[in-house]
Amino acid sequence: MNTPLPVPSFRRLRAFETIARTGSVSAAAQALRLSQPAVTHALNLLEAELGARLFERRQDGSFLNADGAIFRRRTGRFFDQIVAAVECTHGREDAENIAAKIGGAQVRSLLAIWQTGSFRAAAQALEISEPSLQRPARALERLLETTLYRRSATGLGVNETGGELARRLALAIGEIRSGAEEIGAASKARASLRVGVLALSPRTLLAQATGVLLARYPAQKMEVVESSYQQLARDLHDGALDVIFGALREPPPYADLIGEDLFEDPYSIVCRRDHPLTKVALVEPADLARYGWVFPTQGLPRRDVLNAMIEAWGLSPDVQIETSCLSTIIALLTASDRLSLLSRWNITLYGHSELARVESVRIPHERRNVGLTTRSGWLPTPFQDAFLTSIRTAAGPLQTFA
């Protein structure tokens, strides 16, 4: 991440939340120790920003309309998450008092430093001077009475405490973005759904689910990001992704990530379609020993499985080619007699006519499931929830295969 996350106006959100709680602008002004015109102005600016009215104004008070009720649910989660973030270093009562004093400029500075890696880069990204960044950044540190920054070889950046606080604040801000989308005011600069996909994810399945979804929601958009599991899991943990589609890992690397099984997708030995092994009725480990392998990259589950096969079956351990790129694996297999390990459904159902599975060899490995990984406590928007339903429906037939 190198673009600072847009930070909403805390003043406007507090004005909205207080009016919703008290039922009137005058009572909100008293609670916030502001003038009624100031509270009214903050609300008007928020409604203009969202492009929606949030209250029904009557002589006996201000009452949430349908859009207001939707947005209040998100602002409630927003403020709850800020309190929870402060609770990491303070007790609950202190956290509530401190969270009520945190301002948007302080959060904006911390997030920019976290996202760009240093004070200098953050100031450049925000297009302000470094002293202008330092003031709110240090003010937040004093408010929390906790050290948030440290010096490293790349400059002054966040320490572990500052990074975790920034991550939680980013998740809180995501609630406001989702609230805006739910009432039809999604920012054009942000995707409505951000999906991470792994290299061996069945792409045709994803395409089917996406096609159905976008036909129903033509005004919405998706962002699909492919990367390693480690990077995608971190992005999901940080709030930069909404969901990961692909092989599940147990346990996931972060305690707040949860997996949902869709279907089993075991590994298969694969080769080019006219490979000599395709003419052998019952392939034995000794037959495999005559051929070299396209090895998965170290650290991937497939590499661990292949290493175990090599040791158990006496196959050649020589590594001449190592890659995690699916298109490269396919090209290397079709141009040689080498073998490799790939996902069964990736080849059988959605795959590549130039490849074949070595059917008779059963690969010993733990159960491998493809599914969805999300964050615990995540509240999807209707569009995001429709995506989950669509991909579950598309994956349904695969659950019947043995």
pLDDT in tens, 189-234: 556 899 999 988 888 889 989 998 999 988 888 999 999 999 999 9
On whether both 314 and 390 belong to a single domain, the answer is: no
1 has pLDDT over 50 = no
What per-residue confidence (pLDDT) applies to 316? 86
In terms of domains, do 297 and 348 share one? yes
Does a structural domain hold residue 185? no
Neighbouring-strand partners of residue 194: 223
Q: For 194, list phi and psi in degrees, rounded to 5.
A: -120, 110
In this prediction, residue 402 has a pLDDT band, given cuts at 50, 70 and 90, of very low
| Shared-domain flag, residues 63 and 150 | yes
What are the DSSP calls for 61-73, one per residue? EEEE-HHHHHHHH
Q: Per residue in 99-158, pLDDT tens? A: 999 999 999 999 999 999 999 999 999 999 999 999 999 999 999 999 999 998 888 999
**What angle do the packed helices 119-126 and 104-116 form, to 10 degrees?**
120
Residue 381 sits at φ, ψ, to 5 deg, of: -70, 165
Q: What is the pLDDT of residue 91?
A: 74
- Whether 197 maps to a domain, the answer reads yes
Nearest to 332 by CA among 291, 303, 299: 291
Token couple for 75:
């602002």
Domain annotation covers residue 178: no
The answer on 155 and 20 residing in a single domain is yes
Any idea which of 194-208, 234-248, 372-386 has the lowest mean pLDDT?
194-208
- Do 230 and 379 share a domain, yes or no? yes
Short-list 91, 62, 390, CA closest to 216: 390
Look at residue 182 and tell me if it is in a domain.
no
Residue 300 has pLDDT above 60, yes or no: yes
Instruction: Provide the domain count of the chain.
Output: 3
CATH number, domain with residue 320: 3.40.190.290
Pairing of strands 243-247, 193-197: parallel
Q: In whole angstroms, give the CA distance from residue 320 to residue 148.
A: 46
Selected residue with higher pLDDT from 397 and 258: 258
Domain hosting residue 352, numbered range: 267-357
Regarding whether 277 and 259 lie in a shared domain, the answer is no
**Model pLDDT, residue 363:** 87
- Judge if 167 and 205 occupy the same domain: no
DSSP 155-215: EEEE-HHHHHHHHHHHHHHHHHHHHHHHTT---TTS-SEEEEE-TTS-HHHHHHHHHHHHH
- Average the pLDDT over 316-345 and give the result: 91
Long-range pairs for 297-306 at CB < 8 Å and ≥24 separation? Answer: 297/322, 297/323, 297/324, 298/322, 300/324, 301/247, 301/249, 301/368, 302/267, 302/341, 302/342, 305/267, 305/341, 305/363, 305/365, 306/341
Q: Is residue 346 part of a domain?
A: yes
CA distances from 60 to 23, 35, 42 (A): 9, 19, 20
**pLDDT mean over 345-356:** 70
Q: Do 149 and 205 fall into the same domain?
A: no
Q: pLDDT per residue over 59-77, tens digit each?
A: 888 999 999 999 999 999 9
Position 343 confidence tier, pLDDT thresholds 50, 70, 90: confident
Q: Is there a domain that residue 184 lies in?
A: no
Q: What whole-number percentage of the chain has pLDDT above 90?
A: 72
Q: What is the CATH number of the domain that holds 383?
A: 3.40.190.10
pLDDT at 252: 93
* Together in a domain, 54 and 154: yes
Note whether 155 and 283 are same-domain residues: no
Query: Dihedral of CA 269/275/277/278: which sign?
Result: positive
Q: What is the pLDDT of residues 249-259, one digit of tens each?
A: 989 999 999 99
> Confidence class of residue 186 from pLDDT cuts 50, 70 and 90?
low
Q: Are residues 198 and 309 in the same domain?
A: no
pLDDT of res. 352: 60
Residue 181 lies in a domain: no
**CA quadruple 246, 251, 254, 258: dihedral sign:** positive
Same domain? For 104 and 220 the reply is no
pTM of the model: 0.88
What pLDDT was estimated at residue 384?
95
**CATH code of the domain containing 65:** 1.10.10.10
- DSSP letter at 152 equals E
**Is the pLDDT assigned to residue 172 strictly greater than 70?**
yes
Q: What per-residue confidence (pLDDT) applies to 351? A: 53
